[in-house]
């Protein structure tokens, strides 16, 4: 299991406390999560964090798991 400390920018992120949407297996929920990311000021930092830490599950920086997987493994 990955255990990471929360970065500073995550403290005020609009996804906080919304794990069910951001880690859902339902496409409609993931779409909703991506829309939330579109309005997040930390999106670039979030995506960089996910790729740097090789996180490929959930929605991070507006990218879904398969998109993250491609970025991590490219
Ligand atoms: S980009 Fe999305 S997942 Fe990342 S902090 Fe913002 S709302 Fe959360």
Predicted confidence (pLDDT) per residue in 28-58, tens digit:
999 999 999 999 999 999 999 999 999 999 9
Asked whether 30 and 59 are in contact (CB, 8 A), the reply is yes
Question: Does the residue 5 lie in any domain?
Answer: no
Question: Does the residue 8 lie in any domain?
Answer: no
Pocket mutation for ligand 1, best pick of 8, 16, 17, 42 (most atoms within 8 Å of C-beta): 42
> Is pLDDT at 1 greater than 70 in this prediction?
no
Q: How many structural domains does the chain have? A: 1
Q: Give the whole-angstrom CA distance, residue 1 versus residue 26.
A: 22
Question: Does the residue 51 lie in any domain?
Answer: yes
> What's the 37 CA to ligand 1 centre distance in angstroms?
5
What is the pTM for the complete model shown?
Answer: 0.91
Question: Does the residue 2 lie in any domain?
Answer: no
Question: Does the residue 9 lie in any domain?
Answer: no
> What's the 9 CA to ligand 1 centre distance in angstroms?
9
Question: Does the residue 60 lie in any domain?
Answer: yes
Q: Is the CB of 50 under 6 A from ligand 1?
A: no
Residue 45 lies in domain: 21-72
Question: Does the residue 29 lie in any domain?
Answer: yes
Q: Which residues of 32-60 are buried (b: 16+ CB within 10 A; e: fewer)?
A: bbbebbeebebbebbbebbbeeebbebbb
Question: Does the residue 55 lie in any domain?
Answer: yes
């Amino acid at each position: 299991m990955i255990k990471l400390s929360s970065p500073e920018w995550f403290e005020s992120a609009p996804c906080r406390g919304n794990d069910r949407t951001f880690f859902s297996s339902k496409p409609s929920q993931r779409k909703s999560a991506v829309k939330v990311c579109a309005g997040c000021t930390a999106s670039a930092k979030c995506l960089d964090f996910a790729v740097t830490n090789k996180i490929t599950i959930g929605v991070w920086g507006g990218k879904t798991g398969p998109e993250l997987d491609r970025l991590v493994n490219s």
